[in-house]
Amino acid sequence: MADHSEVLRGIRKYPGVSYPTLVPNMTGLKAAIEAGAEEIAVFASASEAFSHKNINCSIEESIRRFKEVTEHAIKSGMRVRGYISCVCGCPYQGAVKPEEVVRVASLLRKLGCYEISLGDTIGVGTPGSVRSLLNILLDPTAERNADEKFSSSELAFGIKVIDSSAGGLGGCPYARGASGNVATEDLVYMLEGMGVSTGVNLPKLLEAVHFIHGVIGRPPVSHVAQVMAPPSVGLRLKEDSHL
């Protein structure tokens, strides 16, 4: 996170687009404010074991740490988004009970998070397990969840915010098997094929994906990026083959 301020200052910002900045503590919040951030993100885990491995504290301790951060951010006019990791399973403790996810989600909402992202950190979730989790989280009879807003990948529940990463980049170094994230280009291709308009320009997205993978020196892992390379990329690959 050392270069987050430099990145935030350097990107071209477009009206109507959110640029949330991950903030772990007050030092990070101060840097985000100085860099012009308008929205921050805080993260907690639904797994005690993962919380200790990832940020070296319990879930309750992490929430107490975030309390000062979120209060100061909201007073400064910033929006706060919450993230929960390991909602479907943990590499250290195994299964994670839905009730634990509900508990952490409620704590984040009390901190003032306007939206909560549900993260299947190691990719063990199935359509069945995700539906079971969302049935509990979004139970209209449960007063604690009446105001919850969630971000997941379950369209059947009317959820329309899905987190992904261009080229599938990312992953958590503290989670075995978390080699990357859902590739944005695969997600956009699937949704558009289902008749769901995303507003994303897929050819432009693919140009960005191949650019960043060229910078890091490895080919993209997503299916769409492999079979739908932009013409400029295809030309470069053809030229490279003659070397």
What pLDDT, in 10s, does the model give residues 174-219?
666 556 688 999 999 999 999 999 999 999 999 999 999 889 888 8
Give the start-to-end residue ranges of the domains of the chain: 1-163, 169-243
Q: What is the dihedral of CA 115, 66, 40, 180, to 10 degrees?
A: -80
* Full-model pTM: 0.82
What's the mean pLDDT in 102-107?
94
pLDDT band at 114, cuts 50/70/90? Answer: very high
Q: Which of 162, 207, 163, 138 is nearest to 22 (CA)?
A: 163
Place of tokens 């390379």: 229
**How far apart, in Å, are the Cα atoms of 99 and each of 14, 66, 105, 150?**
39, 21, 10, 15
pLDDT band at 89, cuts 50/70/90? Answer: very high
| CA-CA-CA-CA torsion sign (134, 140, 142, 145) | positive
Q: Would residue 86 show up in a list of annotated catalytic residues for this protein?
A: no
What's the mean pLDDT in 3-10?
82
- Point out the catalytic residue in the list 86, 88, 113, 172: 172
- Identify whether the C-beta of residue 183 lies closer than 8 Å to the C-beta of residue 205: no
CA pair distance 180, 155, nearest whole angstrom:
22
Helix axes 59-75, 98-110, angle to 10 degrees: 30
Determine what percent of the chain is predicted with pLDDT higher than 90: 52
Q: Report CA 101 to chain centroid distance, whole Å.
A: 16
What's the mean pLDDT in 139-167?
70
Lowest mean pLDDT among 5-9, 21-25, 79-83: 5-9
CA angle at 121 for the pair 167 and 185, rounded to the nearest 5°: 20
pLDDT band at 2, cuts 50/70/90? Answer: low
Q: CATH: 3.20.20.70, 3.30.450.20, 3.30.70.20, 3.40.50.10090. Which one for 1-163?
A: 3.20.20.70
